Amino acid sequence: MIEQTVDIATPHGATTTFIVHPERDGPHPVILFYMDAPAIREELRDMARRLATAGYYIVLPNLYYRAGVLELGGFATEADRARMFELMASINIPLVMSDTAALLTYIDSDPAARKGPMGAVGYCMSGQYAINAAAYYPDKVKAAASIYGVSLVTDDHDSPHLAAQKVQGEVYFACAEIDAYAPLEMVEALAQSVTANGVNGEVELYAGVHHGFAFPQRPAYDKTAAERHWERLLALFKRNL
């Protein structure tokens, strides 16, 4: 595998971005990997590596660069969690889509990245960013997945349930049954919207598991559910990329 960490210029500074892709048989299809609220860490880099081994060029940007933060170093204390939620609230869909435009410019200049349909995946706070990447850039991002995403149905114009209707490819929502950030009522409203509006996609409820089930280093980790999410992701990207 080839790994690099690069600073990609944006209108607001530069986002330190982890990129990983196979050494051979390139160029490879691109997948934008949006971090969750606890920020960049080795756990996420390992997940990016796992996706890359399936033949993809993975781009994992730091979304907290505006605050001068790359890694939080954990969220065990109340102060850590308060800082995490502060950072999470400091970004939004328009800002992250501006970052995404900068990432796409960089990707276009890298011969290791295949020019063609791309994918996007986001966890927790970033599920909404992955879905919106496909809505903002429908000619490029053809497959997007939200894994236990938050704010799935809101009154905002860029709510994921509305953004999904603008996607020209396929979307996938993986939702945990036990999730204070996306309660079952919200998941049901999302599923109804996807069905009623003929969205090319799926809302899948992972029974009996908690928010965060795919992260190996989180207390909520559930190996069976995590492996199912990998199966779904790889199938989604294989169909569309």
pLDDT, mean of residues 209-221 = 93
Q: Are 170 and 143 in contact (CB under 8 A)?
A: yes
Tell me the pLDDT band of 77, cut-offs 50, 70 and 90. confident
Tell me the pLDDT band of 78, cut-offs 50, 70 and 90. confident
pLDDT, mean of residues 44-58 = 97
Burial (CB count within 10 angstroms: exposed 0-12, middle 13-18, buried 19+), residue 69: middle
In the prediction, which pLDDT does 115 show?
Answer: 94
pLDDT, mean of residues 169-184 = 97
- Residue 85's domain comprises 2-240
Residue 171 has pLDDT above 90, yes or no: yes
Q: What is the pLDDT of residues 119-156, one digit of tens each?
A: 999 999 999 999 999 999 999 999 999 999 999 999 99
Kindly report the backbone phi and psi dihedral angles of residue 130, in degrees, each rounded to the nearest multiple of 5, phi listed first: -65, -45
Cross-strand bridge partners of residue 39: 71
Q: Are 127 and 88 in contact (CB under 8 A)?
A: no
Percent of the chain surpassing pLDDT 90: 91
CA gap 20, 49 in Å, rounded: 6
Question: Which tokens go with 206?
Answer: 């992972």
Q: Is the Cα torsion angle 156, 17, 44, 228 positive or negative in sign?
A: positive
In the prediction, which pLDDT does 88 show?
Answer: 92
CATH number of the domain bearing residue 172: 3.40.50.1820
Distance of CA 238 to the CA centre of its chain: 17
In the prediction, which pLDDT does 218 show?
Answer: 86
Residue 55 has pLDDT above 90, yes or no: yes
Q: Are 37 and 64 in contact (CB under 8 A)?
A: no
How far apart, in Å, do the first and last CA atoms of the chain sit? 20
CA gap 192, 214 in Å, rounded: 25
**Count of structural domains, the chain:** 1
Average pLDDT, the chain: 95
Residue 76 has pLDDT above 90, yes or no: no
pLDDT, mean of residues 80-100 = 93
Residue 75 has pLDDT above 80, yes or no: no
Distance of CA 31 to the CA centre of its chain: 9
Burial (CB count within 10 angstroms: exposed 0-12, middle 13-18, buried 19+), residue 99: buried
CA gap 121, 145 in Å, rounded: 5
CA gap 162, 110 in Å, rounded: 32
